Structure 1
Amino acid sequence: MSDCNSNSSCSSCSSAAGCNTDEKKQHARKRLDDRLSKIKYKIMVMSGKGGVGKSTVSVSLASALHSLGYSVGILDADIHGPNIPKMFGLAQKGVQSGENGLVPFEAVDGLKVMSVGFLLENDSDAIIWRAPVKHGMIEQFISDVDWGDLDFIIIDLPPGTGDEPLSVAHTIGAVDGAVIVTTPQEVALLDSRKSVTFAHKLKIPVLGIVENMSGLVCPHCSGTVDLFKTGGGERMATEMEVNFLGRVPIDPMVVIQGDTGKPYVLEVKDTPTANAFKEIALNVAKQTIAK
């Protein structure tokens, strides 16, 4: 047996050369378990297809929970489309190491953020990775990042039920819940049903369905225009026997705030869209904390 300290990773242990493969795995698992033990609730945000506003919901959920007084981190696990830094106004490049691991970036008074976007020299660079490399990066972002003590970590996933959701689920081991984002039209609902099935197969509790882009509230007359129909997400939730978290109307300010890096729910008050996001956050908090 080597004299590797059980509190150290093999990469930093002074006798790393003496660690065998099993010891390295034990060290890695312990480091991961130590990180996860400090995070109370791990929430995955999923969608069956792209373009339904999943990242907007992730940012809004994280920001709303933060505004309610919870300590929150957001992990951008969308390796090929890492938009979370942009949506929080974080333009920094390069990740720093501290005494306890990689240092996450901070937005809006301590909300912690980690994304592969911070590793890109140019935001237009394409990430061309196969599944094992993506799995390694996601695992590192969980086990090697100094998240500290958090009430919630929100994990923004790419569309679909492929490598990244599987990597997150297998790395964490016990995800506390999944939020499924859809738009009302049937094309989106068809794929969103697959996300619910994915969660069920992996024994991840489905916290509920968010029906995003559910009508456009006219700024002139306050009437609602159903651009993508309405009610589809709620019907799907009923059919699949999962919770319905709420409808989020379209508000052009969501686009503006996302592009300028100022989360909508923290900047815009008392609109149907802002109130919908806050109610969703309250519902998620109630379900997870009540477990």
Structure 2
Amino acid sequence: MSSSEPEHCPGIDSEQAGKSAACAGCPNQGVCSGGELRSAAKDTEQDYYEIARKLSSIKHIIIIMSGKGGVGKSTVATQLARFIAFNDSESNVGLLDVDICGPSIPKTMGVENEEIFNSASGWSPIFVEDNLAVMSCGFLLESLDDAVIWRGPRKNGIIKQFLRDVDWSDELDYLIIDTPPGTSDEHLSLVSYLKFCQNVRGAIMVTTPQEIAQMDVRKQIEFCRKVKLPIIGYLENMSVFVCPKCSKENYIFKSKSTRPSTLEEKYGIKLLGRLPIDPIIGKSCDEGKSLFNDNNKLLDNRIHQAFEDLWNNLCKEINQSKE
């Protein structure tokens, strides 16, 4: 449609759409008078209500975002989901991968060779643990090496299906949604489809210490504010490298600073935690294994403490947002 509208445009929802005197000369008059746009708008709103109904039993929906690729967003989403499931065996966790063109969650979760099945109750997610389930576009590909060359409408369609048709069960406590970097069709579709959901707690921004990464996060903050998506806080990944021999802290990307970042000072976005650089984190994702299990003797206490801090701060922010 043309972006220009008559001064007194009745709007596509009006019975006078395309028929009012104000519509004379509008390039969209024929489309509006036919009712196609009004019908499409009603169908779309019905989708919103259907998705809200489908997801209403989930206690908390958390969206993981990053302004730039390569900052460890999917790693954070993966290990956060694993930490919650391990730390609280009574909580049921779902991890939804809506990075349509780069679905890495099946690999990081170690379930890349699994297939999903469709039943009368919807698509069945893949269970990694008894209380941890995963759904990703990667399960729909013949090979994870296949390129996904889809235009916006098809991406939107699969996201709608993931939100509406996946059978997470009625006892899901946390749904963590991993998104692609930047602000693209996937983000707009996701936020739109969750429009009527009352259990969306907000977004966690993942960044690294250097300014170029935080610059893109600031753009994503503006995106969230424009679409009215709450921001829970941000996580600084790859914050510090601790030498395994001498335990000296090395700030590879940026010098250590006791001052708040511009994300806190200018935007009021709270720091949820800092994750160190450690080879075991990358290794666990490459091998599709959890950092958190009773048999992991190599896990540095700093890593466990970092996720503990993230989890505690996340719970605090969620509880405050509900008040």
TM-score category, normalised to shorter length = 0.7 to 0.9
Query: Hey, what does 1:40 align to over in structure 2?
Result: 59
Q: Give SS of 1:250's match.
A: coil
Query: Hey, what does 1:122 align to over in structure 2?
Result: 143
- Structure 1 residue 25: Cα displacement: 6.2
Moved more, 89-98 or 208-217: 89-98
- Structure 1 residue 230: Cα displacement: 4.8
1:275 aligns with 2:294: no
1:245 pairs, out of 236, 252, 272, with: 272
Q: Is the 8 A contact 1:73 1:152 kept in 2?
A: yes
Amino acid at match of 2:186: E
Larger radius of gyration: 2
| 1:165-201 alpha-carbon deviations (Å, 9 max, x no partner) | 1111111114321000000001111101111111122
Q: Give SS of 2:237's match.
A: strand
Cα distance, 1:201–1:281 mapped onto 2, change above 3 Å? same
Cα distance, 1:116–1:102 mapped onto 2, change above 3 Å? same
| 1:235-288 alpha-carbon deviations (Å, 9 max, x no partner) | 033221111111111010001101110122444645212211222122212322
Query: Hey, what does 2:226 align to over in structure 1?
Result: 201
1:184 aligns with 2:209: yes
2:235 pairs, out of 210, 222, 226, with: 210
Q: What TM-score results when the alignment is normalised by the length of structure 2?
A: 0.78
Q: Is the 8 A contact 1:265 1:277 kept in 2?
A: no
CA distance in structure 1 between the partners assigned to 2:186 and 2:255 by the alignment: 30
Q: Give SS of 2:173's match.
A: strand
**Larger fraction in strand:** 1
CA distance in structure 2 between the partners assigned to 1:182 and 1:101 by the alignment: 35
2:162 pairs, out of 116, 127, 141, with: 141
Aligned residues: 272
Q: Is the 8 A contact 1:61 1:278 kept in 2?
A: no
1:73 aligns with 2:94: yes
Amino acid at match of 1:214: S
Amino acid at match of 2:290: P
Q: Is the 8 A contact 2:61 2:201 kept in 1?
A: yes
Q: Give SS of 1:179's match.
A: strand
Query: Hey, what does 1:168 align to over in structure 2?
Result: 190
Amino acid at match of 1:254: I
| 1:74-108 alpha-carbon deviations (Å, 9 max, x no partner) | 10011111000111110234320123111000112
Cα distance, 1:197–1:102 mapped onto 2, change above 3 Å? same
Moved more, 226-235 or 110-119: 226-235
Amino acid at match of 2:212: V
CA distance in structure 2 between the partners assigned to 1:45 and 1:172 by the alignment: 14
- Structure 1 residue 24: Cα displacement: 6.8
Runs of 5+ consecutive residues of structure 2 not aligned to the other structure:
1-38
CA distance in structure 1 between the partners assigned to 2:63 and 2:255 by the alignment: 24
Query: Hey, what does 1:220 align to over in structure 2?
Result: 245
1:258 aligns with 2:277: no
Runs of 5+ consecutive residues of structure 1 not aligned to the other structure:
1-19
| 1:180-227 alpha-carbon deviations (Å, 9 max, x no partner) | 000000111110111111112222221111010011111111111111
CA distance in structure 1 between the partners assigned to 2:41 and 2:134 by the alignment: 32
Correspondence list, 1:89-108, <5 A:
89-108=110-129
Amino acid at match of 1:178: A
Q: Is the 8 A contact 1:185 1:230 kept in 2?
A: no
CA distance in structure 1 between the partners assigned to 2:67 and 2:236 by the alignment: 13
Q: What TM-score results when the alignment is normalised by the length of structure 1?
A: 0.87
CA distance in structure 1 between the partners assigned to 2:158 and 2:68 by the alignment: 23
1:63 pairs, out of 82, 100, 104, with: 82
